[in-house]
Amino acid sequence: MNFESMKRLFATILALGLGWSLWAQGQQERPFNITESGLMYRFEKSNPAAQSVHRGDVLVGEMTLTFEGDTIISNAGNPQRIIQVGERAFLGDLSDALVMMHRGDVAVFGILADELAKFLDDKQMPKSYVKGKGMRFFYTVKVDDVMTPADLASEQELYLAEMAQRKAEEPSVIERYINEHPAKWQRTDDGIYVVVRKAGNGKAVKKGRKVKADFVCRTLDGTLFDTSIDTMASDGGIATDGRVFEPLSYKVGELALIEGWNKGLEGKKAGSELTLVIPSSMAYGSQVGAGILPPYTPIVIDIMLLEVK
């Protein structure tokens, strides 16, 4: 792990606060080996014949970080990609520890806090840290799999090919949806399909006017991913804790909305109810949409235009 990566890692994990104590409490009294650089290590499970870890590899597994018996961060019980092994920041750092491991290993490492503190701001260190006391951060690491740079490159190549295919197939996917959902669709020059299910007779949407609208957002296969209506959210499996469900209120031109929403609502009058089928180029494009939608995902939005002032 390079210097900047380590700073970002600790800035994130220390911000989570010191949590509940795990088995690590009192682990300094248990037997450890120690390298000349001061790195403490103990292997709970060792597989020396398995694939070894090298710098540049991404490790898949579990990692728990503790300090003075308190857990700072942990994904124990939830294996995932935990870290990419970078270059050494100092002798006996976490990267030096990880390259001692193999696929299937479980190990505990003690990293000198004084050494790490040289690369971090004071506020990035735990409040209980005292310089010169020989304190250590303890990492418990379980390696389920090792992804090499070649593996990562291959994965990226497959991903890009999949995204290119999604992009190429999107027009036919939208066309099939329109054919399977017959209505009086109107297609804009931007490729947005619009059907007005109920015509309103209030003021028309235009720049500078205030709009209030309820909405329901789905993918073309019907999967709900966002809505302003609480009953729709609960029925559709959207987490409702801590969120206030209410109509979206904004002034046209002053709120960052997907382009397809703005284009689709242009000129529509208060009281209207309409459905938009929006191509990804007018929605989230090549980005992950709403935190969950793959790139090049066209979407369907039902909009109830409640007010235009």
Residue 30's pLDDT is 60
Q: For 7, how many CA atoms within 13 A lie in the half-sphere containing its CB?
A: 9
pLDDT tens sequence across 95-110 = 999 999 999 999 999 9
The model's pLDDT over 198-211, given as tens digits with 9 standing for 90+, comes to 999 999 999 999 99
In the chain, the domains with their CATH numbers are 3-149 (3.10.50.40), 169-308 (3.10.50.40)
Q: What is the pLDDT of residue 235?
A: 76
CA–CA gap between residue 231 and residue 290 (Å, rounded): 20
Label residues 141-172 b or e (16+ Cβ within 10 Å = b): bbbeebbeeeeeeeeeeeeeeeeeebeeebee
Single-letter amino acid, residue 114 = D
Segment-wise mean pLDDT, segments of 10 residues, the chain, 309 residues: 50 41 45 94 96 98 96 96 96 97 98 94 92 96 98 96 97 97 95 96 94 96 93 77 88 92 95 97 93 94 96
pLDDT of residue 8: 54
Residue with the two structure tokens 């990293």: 111
pTM to 2 decimal places: 0.71
